[in-house]
Amino acid sequence: MDRRPAHTPARLDLNSDLGEGFGAWRLGDDVRMLDVVTSANVACGFHAGDPATMRHTVRAAVARGAALGAHVAYRDLVGFGRRRMDVPSEELRADVVYQLGALQAVAAAEGGRVTYVKPHGALYNTAAVDPRVAEDVAAAVAAVDPTLVLLGLPGSVALDAAAAAGLPVAAEAFADRAYTPEGRLVARSEPGAVLHDPEQVARRVLRLATDGVVEATDGSLVTVRADSVCVHGDTPGAVEMAVRVRAVLTAAGVDLRPFVDA
Phi-psi domain of 61 (left: phi exceeds 0; alpha: psi -120 through 50; beta: other): alpha
Query: What does pTM read for this prediction?
Result: 0.92
Contact predicate 156/129, CB 8 Å = yes
The whole-number pLDDT of residue 5 equals: 41
Give CA–CA dist 2/11, Å, rounded.
19
- Can you list the residues of the chain whose pLDDT is less than 50? 1-9
H helix or E strand, kind and range, residue 17: strand 11-18
Give CA–CA dist 133/161, Å, rounded.
9
Contact predicate 184/125, CB 8 Å = no
- Determine the 3-state secondary structure of 236 from DSSP: coil
Comparing C-alpha atoms, which of 222, 201, 198 is closest to residue 211? 222
Q: Measure CA 233 to chain center.
A: 11
Q: Which CA distances in Å does 185 have to 19, 123, 175, 194, 217?
A: 23, 15, 11, 10, 10
H helix or E strand, kind and range, residue 51: helix 51-64
Over residues 163-214, the pLDDT tens digits come to 999 999 999 999 989 999 988 889 888 888 888 899 999 999 999 999 999 9
- CATH class belonging to 11-256: alpha beta
The whole-number pLDDT of residue 4 equals: 42
User: Which residues touch 197 (CB under 8 Å, ≥6 apart)?
Assistant: none
The whole-number pLDDT of residue 125 equals: 93
The whole-number pLDDT of residue 7 equals: 44
Domain map (residue ranges) of the chain:
11-256
The whole-number pLDDT of residue 262 equals: 53
What letters, b where the CB count within 10 A reaches 16 and e where it falls short, cover 116-147? bbbbbbbbbbbbbebeebbbbbbbbbbebeee
- Across-strand partners of 149? 116
Phi-psi domain of 211 (left: phi exceeds 0; alpha: psi -120 through 50; beta: other): alpha
The whole-number pLDDT of residue 24 equals: 79
